[in-house]
Every structure is written in C-alpha cells, then in structure tokens.
Structure 1
Amino acid sequence: MKYWIIIALVGIIGSLLAAGLFMVRGGPDEQDKAKRMANALTWRIGISVFLFLTIIFSYVMGWIQPTGIPVGA
C-alpha cells in the first residue's frame, strides 16, 4: 500500500510540474497553452481524488490502521 501512495504522490507532483511548464512555455498559441495546462491539472485532480478514495476504501476494508498520537498523551 505504501508504494501505491508514493507512486500516486509522484504522479500528482509530476502533473503539477507539467502544468507549470505548460503555463510558462506553452505552445504555438494561447488556446493550446491553456488546453494543455487544464488537461494536466485535470489529471492532478483525478489522481488526488483516486488516492483519497483508495485510502478511505482501504481503511474501511481493514487493510490499513490509523496510527498517531494516543488520546490523552
């Protein structure tokens, strides 16, 4: 499960960097530049939602357990 989360986070960061690159460099015209940037940001949102839903589903199925600071510590 850890590896899937790391892969998803790398994908999110990569998509965000691609959107920034398209914003700065772009294409031959403004329309193409905006379309490519919006597409990269759409991928980022999709990967983020998928990661969130996967974590929730894994918790419900009991595959992962919450850890952290104990109550009253």
Structure 2
Amino acid sequence: MIKTLIIINLVLILASLGSGMFFLAKDDGKGNRVVTSLTIRVALSFTLIGLILVGYFSGNLVPHQIQ
C-alpha cells in the first residue's frame, strides 16, 4: 500500500512540474499559476519524504545492502 502511494505521489510531482513549465511558458510572468505549481510541488515533495520515512520505520520499505 505504501509503495503505491509513493508511486502516485511521484506521478503527481511530475505532473506539477509539467504544469509549472507550461504556465511559465504561457503566462509570461503575468499570473501566479507558476508559484502555485511550485507550492504544490514542494508540498508533494514533503509528503513523499514523509511517506518514505513511514514506510521505512514501519518495515514496508527495506533498503538493499550492497556487499
């Protein structure tokens, strides 16, 4: 379940990145949609970090050890 949420969050981050790039090219600095897109992307990134930490500490995500 946690892995699915992480993948969905990554897709949403990429969508926010794409929309920010589109608004940056289209608005010519007249709107605040780029700032809103950046805010959403930062919030999603914090959520991603939180999901990774929850998954790690709950034992659902196990790091691989290189030997």
Q: TM-score, normalised by structure 2?
A: 0.84
CA distance in 2, matches of 1:6, 1:59: 15
Match in the other structure for 2:18: 17
Question: Following superposition, which runs of at least 4 residues in structure 1 exceed 4 angstroms of deviation?
Answer: none
CA distance in 2, matches of 1:7, 1:68: 26
Gaps of 5+ in 2: none
Structure of larger gyration radius: 1
**Paired positions, count:** 66
Decide whether the 8 Å contact of 2:6 with 2:51 is kept in 1. no
Q: TM-score, normalised by structure 1?
A: 0.78
The Cα RMSD (Å) is 1.7
Percentage identity across aligned positions?
32
Match in the other structure for 1:38: 35
Gaps of 5+ in 1: none
CA deviations 1:23-69 (Å, max 9, x no partner) are 10127x71x2xx10000011011001101111112211222211142
Q: Relative contact order, CA 8 A, sep 6+: which one is greater?
A: 2
